[in-house]
Amino acid sequence: MTGIISNIQRFSLHDGPGVRTTVFFKGCPLRCVWCHNPETYAFGQELRYKRADCVFCGSCVKACPVGALSVADGRIAYDIGLCTSKPTPRERHGDSQGAKSLGQGCGGGGPTAASFPCVRECPTGALAVTGQAMTVGEVVEEILSDAAMYERTGGGVTLSGGEASAQYEFAKSLIEALKVEGIHVALDTCGQCAPDRLMTLAGLCDLVLFDLKHADPQKHREQTGIDNRLILQNLCELGEVGTPVEARIPVIPGLNDDDEDISAMAKILADNLHVERAVLLGYHPLGRAKIYDFDRQGGVLGVKPPSRARLHELAERMQKEAGIPVTYR
């Protein structure tokens, strides 16, 4: 059982109780305009180019067997249409079934960085592959290296992304393997998933971190690419599973933080009695640094992060209207 993982982040403090390891799955069905992790959009592996590390030696251009790379205007140019190792259209645009192909690389050597000649020949690391093919056993082995820390702090593992449920079979097998080891597992989900699959994964976990991005279906579509009907249906159905649910609400000034938006989301929380608490997550622009120089993904918002005072104000209001504890960060 193999999946595509964007990153495994150790010593996470905000992805559930205790000190945790967060496993970022590659691939997401949403395209949030404020996305903090745009490198996880596509399900297949991709080239990433760091211009600041490039010495323009041309080694990657010479190594590319199909002429997809060239030097132009003081930078490396990338013709994704020629590249034979790019994600398929299904992988790029949120069809989780595309994840099965796992991006074999133009060298034909399987889904590893070594199968990309341009990456292999780059002397500075300016070219890299984002997304690593890993087996369940490999992920579990890395996670278990911090098992003592989870026990001391009441921590564990959080499956995030991207969207872990989009690689359903891999996520399910990973959760089952972690539970055998006695590890606390949290599922961080955007909720855009086939209900039966999400309920199965949630039922295996100890905690669900459920993203609530907007109450209005049309605004949700404008800001994420998909309306929220299935998401709200899944939030409701989680009440039948019995796993504790924490709502996570990004606060994006000018997009979802006016009085009407906050009250509408508070009502959703109040109507779903199984949601035990909520956390407001203030927008930050750190995702900009991870937008690819090649085939840019994600937008750059002209938005300033909300102040602590504003987050405090919104948390107090939502807590009063939703009737559950609401914190912020």
Number of domains the chain contains:
2
pLDDT in tens, 285-301: 776 666 655 555 545 56
Same domain (yes/no): 106, 233: no
Same domain (yes/no): 80, 181: no
Domain-ending residue, one of 130, 158, 192? 130
Same domain (yes/no): 27, 53: no
Same domain (yes/no): 71, 196: no
Rounded Cα–Cα distance for residues 202 and 220 (Å): 23
Spell out the residues 6+ positions from residue 95 whose beta carbon is closer than 8 angstroms to its own.
43
Rounded Cα–Cα distance for residues 294 and 287 (Å): 15
Reading the block at residue 81, the tokens are 């249409």
CATH code where residue 170 lies:
3.20.20.70
> What's phi and psi for 225, nearest 5 deg?
95, -10
pLDDT in tens, 20-43: 999 999 999 999 988 888 888 888
Rounded Cα–Cα distance for residues 181 and 178 (Å): 5
Q: Are 22 and 8 in contact (CB under 8 A)?
A: yes
pLDDT for res 203: 98
Rounded Cα–Cα distance for residues 151 and 153 (Å): 6
**Beta-bridge mates of residue 4:** 133
Per-residue pLDDT tens, the chain, 329 aa: give them. Answer: 899 999 999 999 999 999 999 999 999 999 998 888 888 888 888 888 888 889 989 999 999 999 999 988 878 888 877 887 765 544 444 444 433 333 445 644 444 555 789 999 999 998 888 888 999 999 999 999 999 999 999 999 999 999 999 999 999 999 999 999 999 999 999 999 999 999 999 999 999 999 999 999 999 999 999 999 999 999 999 999 999 999 999 999 999 999 999 999 999 999 999 999 999 999 987 766 666 555 555 455 678 999 999 999 999 999 999 999 999 99
- According to the 3-state scheme, what is the secondary structure of 150-212? HHHHCCEEEEECCCHHHHHHHHHHHHHHHHHCCCEEEEEECCCCCHHHHHHHHHHCCEEEEEC
Dump strand ranges (E) for 140-256: 156-160, 184-189, 207-211, 245-251
Reading the block at residue 31, the tokens are 């395209």
CATH code where residue 52 lies:
3.30.70.20
pLDDT for res 48: 82
Other Cβ atoms closer than 10 A to 80: 14
Rounded Cα–Cα distance for residues 186 and 276 (Å): 15
Same domain (yes/no): 106, 166: no
Rounded Cα–Cα distance for residues 129 and 324 (Å): 43
Q: Are 33 and 301 in contact (CB under 8 A)?
A: yes
Our separate counts of H helices and E strands in the chain read: 11, 13
Domain-ending residue, one of 95, 130, 165? 130
Structural domain that includes position 206: 2-41+133-328
Rounded Cα–Cα distance for residues 79 and 75 (Å): 13
The verdict on whether omega for the bond into residue 162 sits within 30 degrees of 0, i.e. cis, is yes
Same domain (yes/no): 310, 260: yes
Q: Are 87 and 292 in contact (CB under 8 A)?
A: no
Rounded Cα–Cα distance for residues 181 and 186 (Å): 15
pLDDT for res 291: 61
Same domain (yes/no): 81, 163: no
CA dist 125 → 55, 88, 113, 295 (Å): 10, 25, 11, 18
The conformational region for residue 267 under phi > 0 = left, psi -120 to 50 = alpha, else beta, is alpha
Same domain (yes/no): 197, 311: yes
Same domain (yes/no): 141, 271: yes
Using CA of residue 134, residue 137, residue 141, residue 147, what is the dihedral sign? positive
Reading the block at residue 253, the tokens are 């000034």
Domain-ending residue, one of 100, 130, 160? 130
Same domain (yes/no): 77, 218: no
Same domain (yes/no): 64, 210: no
Same domain (yes/no): 33, 73: no
